[in-house]
């Protein structure tokens, strides 16, 4: 992040104090100039690049800047300083603004605590106001509606207007939008007005949050009277015996949120965490195999078209440790991300990364080993998307947002995912989530989607989406219910084979009539044989019988029967022939005495469990 300081004015109202120097080089009580004080404080808070607009005293300001080591200065001249206001200086600086900025006037005297508040605010665009201070007669007031800046002017005195100081933290996108409007003023020849006039025209399309500077010293010096008052006041708040802006001292200045504010600012993150906890409790109470019931794999999602699993798998976890680490990571990175990106875009990053990474995971695993049924559950793919998004915004806050930035960010997170790879971890999902999270946050924060149109509406819409998807995800998990039978080419092949070559009645058709319940599954045995197993319940020789038949595929067009059992007892080939004859005869006679029951899914499918 860079600081933009406006120092191109003459300072006419300062009298003899600015007879031979700019206002910013007026010395305060301790011999330090206003400019030197500003740079010292900002440097101590991590700002090392400064853009300074200058007018008639360019050389003097440049000389003062040379006293600072470890920082760089870019000076932007305003040759029309006598006939223009700082709107022209702002316009002249447009080509050197390439990142988020801290923008301030050169005559501001402030404590480091307020800058600390701005820099550490979760939102990228923030301004300051004082709800406890009386409205000044001739200075700036800000119209603040629902915590957001809507107008800046010296001539507003309504109930929603407050004391305001020209000290902003602005995102690169909001600065660009402001400058676009400033350019229209300049092209129209309107150069002798406040830059805030242009801001007011587009304020409702931006989202510049307002935070209170009550309790922090921030004053602007416009005339000699202001100088005396500010200079006397600053003596009593300075603590020379301390490091004034040391991090330990400034921790207490962080604006704390109460619980209602915390929930209001991060509703989507909280809904997702609660939904995951509820799903985990349901796993314990209701039971069942959550991998089979709601996990993702190629067979269920693609072959069976169970696309709801792409949502349900994000709410299921193998054990408490798996849940704890995923939710902890979501909490740590989601706090800042939802605050900076907004609830709707945060929901887009989380669910978009999770669903997209789920598809990447199942296709990648199937391509690598198509004969293994590999299940995956967990929120990690979505969390990796949040992690990449948070890292990108952190980097973006200091540099211009471009494709190189997002590529570097994704590369770092993908490398981390690969380095932390271990058995039972879905690396495909982690890498996919990281990549998609980076792409999504880049789109949400750098293009037209970065403009927040109606923040309240978007927040409500985000909550609705989060609740609906959470309920759908938990519902699709299917706790305690039978798993839908998998579609499989091997199973289809056996079902189509005739029981007897001369009549053409297939196993599938005959079994569906003969058995009260049927269940088919296919798997690869440990000795690499393709097995199709049938499980059914029927009446045979006057008694209820639970039947298992295993078919071994031999090439692409033949098979053999390698196992037949009734009620758990293996039977001979002759007994199998007698059973098949009874099945065939009953089917051919079309007996209608049997009452069908619902199908039952047999457990025991060969699969790999993967934690996300």
**Residue written as tokens 């304020």?**
203
Q: Which of 140, 158, 135, 130 is nearest to 199 (CA)?
A: 140
CB atoms within 10 A of CB 608: 14
pLDDT at 16: 84
CA–CA separation, 534 and 50 (whole Å): 75
Query: Band of the pLDDT at 604, cuts 50, 70, 90?
Result: very low
pLDDT per residue as tens digits for the range 584-602: 988 888 644 444 333 333 3
Of 352-361, 407-416, 435-444, least confident by mean pLDDT is 407-416
* Beta strand pairing call for 218-220 and 108-110: antiparallel
Determine the average pLDDT of the residues in 342-363.
Answer: 93
422: Cα separation from own chain's centroid: 25
CA–CA separation, 461 and 445 (whole Å): 18
CB atoms within 10 A of CB 517: 16
- CB within 8 Å of 83: residues ≥ 6 apart: 191, 192
Q: Is the pLDDT of residue 606 over 50?
A: no
pLDDT at 242: 35
Higher pLDDT, 594 or 21: 21
CA–CA separation, 312 and 375 (whole Å): 12
Torsion of CA 79, 85, 86, 87, to 10 degrees: -100
pLDDT at 536: 94
Determine the average pLDDT of the residues in 423-436.
Answer: 83
pLDDT at 567: 94
3-state helix, strand, coil split of the chain in percent (to 5) is 50, 20, 30
**Percent of the chain scored above 90 by pLDDT?**
48
Burial 103-137 (b: 16+ CB within 10 A, else e): bbbbbbbbbbbbbbbbbebbbbbbbbbbeeeeeee
pLDDT at 450: 59
Of 65-69, 210-214, 239-243, 305-309, least confident by mean pLDDT is 239-243
Q: Which of 364, 374, 379 is nearest to 297 (CA)?
A: 374
pLDDT at 481: 64
Q: Which of 5, 12, 56, 58 is nearest to 34 (CA)?
A: 5
Q: Is the pLDDT of residue 25 over 50?
A: yes
> To the nearest whole number, what is the mean pLDDT of the chain?
84
Of 207-216, 259-268, 350-359, 538-547, least confident by mean pLDDT is 259-268
CA–CA separation, 340 and 498 (whole Å): 64
pLDDT at 452: 55
Q: Which of 139, 159, 141, 143 is nearest to 151 (CA)?
A: 143
**Percent of the chain scored above 70 by pLDDT?**
85
CA–CA separation, 85 and 78 (whole Å): 10
pLDDT at 489: 80
pLDDT at 285: 78
Instruction: Provide the whole-model pTM.
Output: 0.51
Q: Is the pLDDT of residue 530 over 70?
A: yes
Per-residue H/E/C for 246-263: CHHHHHHHCCCCCHHHHH
H/E run at residue 1? none
CA–CA separation, 517 and 511 (whole Å): 9
Q: Which of 10, 177, 201 is nearest to 89 (CA)?
A: 10
Torsion of CA 153, 156, 158, 161, to 10 degrees: 20
CA–CA separation, 168 and 100 (whole Å): 11
Of 52-61, 181-190, 257-266, 532-541, least confident by mean pLDDT is 257-266
pLDDT per residue as tens digits for the range 284-337: 877 666 777 788 888 888 877 889 899 999 999 888 998 999 999 999 888 888
Q: Is the pLDDT of residue 241 over 80?
A: no
pLDDT per residue as tens digits for the range 473-493: 888 877 766 666 666 788 889
DSSP-derived 3-state class of residue 518: strand
- CB within 8 Å of 522: residues ≥ 6 apart: 486, 488, 490, 491, 530, 531, 532, 533
pLDDT at 466: 93
CB atoms within 10 A of CB 435: 23
CA–CA separation, 213 and 186 (whole Å): 32
Q: DSSP label at 221?
A: -
pLDDT per residue as tens digits for the range 486-515: 667 888 899 999 988 777 889 999 999 999
Query: Band of the pLDDT at 13, cuts 50, 70, 90?
Result: confident
Higher pLDDT, 197 or 600: 197
């Amino acid at each position: 992040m860079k600081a933009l300081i406006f120092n191109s004015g003459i300072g006419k109202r300062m009298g003899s104090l600015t007879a031979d120097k700019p206002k910013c080089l007026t010395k305060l009580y301790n011999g330090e100039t206003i400019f030197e004080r500003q740079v010292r404080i900002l440097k101590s808070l991590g700002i090392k690049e400064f853009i300074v607009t200058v007018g008639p005293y360019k050389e003097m300001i440049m000389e003062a800047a040379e006293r600072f080591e470890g920082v760089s200065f870019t000076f932007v001249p305003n040759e029309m300083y006598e006939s223009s206001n700082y709107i022209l200086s702002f316009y002249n600086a447009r080509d050197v603004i390439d990142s988020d900025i801290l923008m301030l006037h050169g005559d501001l005297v402030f404590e480091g605590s307020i800058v600390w508040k701005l820099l550490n605010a979760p939102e990228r665009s923030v301004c300051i106001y004082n709800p406890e201070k009386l409205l000044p007669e001739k200075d700036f007031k800000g119209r603040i509606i629902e915590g957001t800046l809507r107008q800046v002017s010296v001539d507003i005195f309504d109930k929603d207007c407050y004391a305001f100081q020209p000290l902003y933290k602005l995102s690169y996108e909001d600065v660009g939008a402001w400058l676009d409007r400033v350019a229209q003023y300049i092209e129209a020849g309107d150069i002798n007005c406040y830059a805030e006039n242009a801001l007011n025209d587009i304020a409702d399309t931006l989202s510049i949050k307002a935070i209170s500077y009550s309790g922090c010293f921030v004053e602007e010096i416009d005339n000699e009277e202001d100088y005396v008052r500010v200079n006397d006041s600053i003596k009593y708040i300075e603590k020379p015996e301390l490091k004034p802006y040391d991090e330990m001292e400034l921790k207490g200045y962080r604006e704390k949120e109460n619980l209602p504010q915390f929930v209001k600012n991060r509703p989507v993150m909280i809904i997702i965490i609660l939904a995951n906890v509820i799903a985990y409790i349901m796993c314990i109470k209701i039971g069942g195999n959550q991998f089979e019931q709601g996990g993702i794999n190629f067979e269920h999602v693609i072959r069976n078209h169970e696309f709801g699993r792409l949502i349900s798998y994000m709410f299921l976890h193998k054990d408490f440790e798996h849940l704890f680490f995923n939710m902890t990571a979501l909490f740590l990175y989601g706090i800042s991300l939802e605050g900076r990106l907004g609830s709707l875009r945060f929901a887009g990053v989380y669910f978009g990364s999770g669903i997209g990474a789920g598809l990447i995971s199942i296709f990648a695993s199937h391509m690598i080993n198509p004969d293994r049924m590999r299940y995956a559950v967990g929120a990690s793919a979505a969390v990796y998307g949040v992690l990449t998004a948070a890292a990108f915004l952190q980097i973006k806050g200091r540099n211009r947002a471009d494709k190189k930035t997002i590529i570097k960010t994704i590369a770092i997170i993908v490398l981390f995912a690969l380095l932390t790879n271990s058995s039972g971890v879905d690396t495909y999902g982690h890498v996919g989530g990281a990549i998609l999270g980076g792409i999504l946050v880049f789109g949400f924060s750098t293009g037209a989607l970065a403009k927040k149109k109606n923040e309240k509406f978007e927040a409500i819409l985000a909550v609705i989406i989060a609740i609906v998807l959470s309920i759908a995800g938990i519902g699709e998990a299917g706790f305690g219910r039978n798993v839908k039978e998998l579609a499989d080419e091997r199973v289809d092949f056996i079902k189509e084979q005739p029981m007897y070559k001369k009549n053409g009645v297939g196993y599938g058709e005959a079994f569906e009539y003969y058995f009260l319940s049927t269940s088919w599954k296919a798997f690869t045995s440990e000795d690499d044989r393709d097995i199709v197993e049938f499980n059914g319940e029927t009446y045979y020789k006057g008694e209820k019988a639970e039947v298992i038949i295993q078919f071994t595929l031999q090439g692409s067009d033949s098979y053999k029967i390698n196992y037949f059992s009734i009620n758990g007892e293996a039977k001979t080939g002759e007994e199998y022939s007698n059973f098949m004859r009874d099945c065939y005869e009953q089917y051919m006679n079309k007996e209608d005495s049997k009452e069908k029951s619902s199908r039952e899914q047999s457990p025991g499918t060969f699969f790999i469990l993967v934690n996300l």
